[in-house]
Structure 1
Amino acid sequence: MKITFYSLPKKLDKAVLKKVIATVLEKEKKPKAVVEIVFLSQGQIEKLNFNYRGKKEPTDVLSFSNLGPFPGEDKNYLGELAICLSHIERNAKRFEEKPQRELARVLIHGILHLLGYNHERGGKDSKIMMSKQESYLSNLLI
């Protein structure tokens, strides 16, 4: 598997983040997956959220799934996650959760979206995705 980080905040441990992502990809039988993760400011993610979802507000994570593969592109490329650490830290405080645990939850959530899971349809799809998310999170010692 190949995981590339862009604008990774210095206070984050890349090895821990990779462990979280690897846990999901291995359990989902995608050990050769290629994922890119970019950390954005609140303003940057708010702009992306508006451009791609029509919502003029910040969010913790946006998932951009690979629709390809396109010619010359790695067939294992899943897509990209855009993450806003400041929004995650606010949510952690709001939900009385440790920031690193909330970040793990968001990473798992985003990877599941890249794999095709979708809670926004509601019903059974939502239950499956959220169940997997919380199961993977509970297996991590974070």
Structure 2
Amino acid sequence: MAIQFTDHEIKVNLKDKRKLKSFLKDLFASEGQGLKELHYIFCSDAYLLEINKEFLQHDTYTDIVTFEMGEDPDVTEGEIYISFDRVVENAEKFNVPVNQELHRVIFHGALHLCGFKDKSKEEDALMRKKEDEYLIKYFGSLN
């Protein structure tokens, strides 16, 4: 089971990678989802916009795009692209620390790969609740 973090054309100062990898493994286990491989790619708005257009036919900025790459629905092999530009902007918008917002998005992508959706109002409310739950477990509190 491998979890990787890669900076693409930007530099993200992600602290405690070993702790985060262990926590993500526990998150998948807690949600009853197997994990084979997970690759986070931190990138710019421009790069993620191109991915969003090419693969999802969405011509909009977003903070995250998640891809399930494997064949087995019970075992995750995924790639998660995160726009650090969007993370910084959203942290300012919601008045939260950048590190907290970054981890929220990291957990958000993992939760998508565990089967959680956020298209409807109800799905989005559950996703936010799960994000908060894992942020509190990881940091001990919010903010």
TM range (shorter): 0.7 to 0.9
1:84 shift after superposition = 1.0
Number of equivalenced pairs:
136
Alignment check: 8 A CA contact 2:70 2:76 kept: no
2:84 alignment partner in structure 1: 85
1:95 shift after superposition = 0.7
Distance 2:61 2:115 in 1: 23
1:32 shift after superposition = 4.2
Deviation per CA, 1:20-76: give whole Å up to 9, x if none: 52342232134644211111221110111122333323211100013514xxxxx84
Alignment check: 8 A CA contact 1:65 1:113 kept: no
For the pair 1:11 / 2:13, whether they are aligned, the reply is yes
For residue 44 of structure 1, the aligned residue among 42, 47, 50 is 47
Distance 1:127 1:11 in 2: 29
Q: Which runs of 5+ in 2 are unaligned?
A: none
Q: Which one is further off, 127-136 or 107-116?
A: 127-136
For the pair 1:58 / 2:61, whether they are aligned, the reply is yes
TM-score scaled to structure 2, two decimals?
Answer: 0.80
Distance 1:125 1:110 in 2: 14
Q: Which one is further off, 13-22 or 77-86?
A: 13-22
1:99 shift after superposition = 0.4
Alignment check: 8 A CA contact 1:20 1:104 kept: no
1:114 shift after superposition = 1.2
Provide the aligned C-alpha RMSD in A.
2.4
1:91 shift after superposition = 0.7
CA distance 1:92–1:31, shift in 2 (3 Å): same
Q: Which has the higher strand share?
A: 2
TM-score scaled to structure 1, two decimals?
Answer: 0.80
1:130 alignment partner in structure 2: 128
Alignment check: 8 A CA contact 1:34 1:77 kept: yes
Alignment check: 8 A CA contact 2:76 2:113 kept: no
Distance 2:25 2:43 in 1: 22
Alignment check: 8 A CA contact 2:41 2:79 kept: yes
Distance 2:19 2:113 in 1: 20
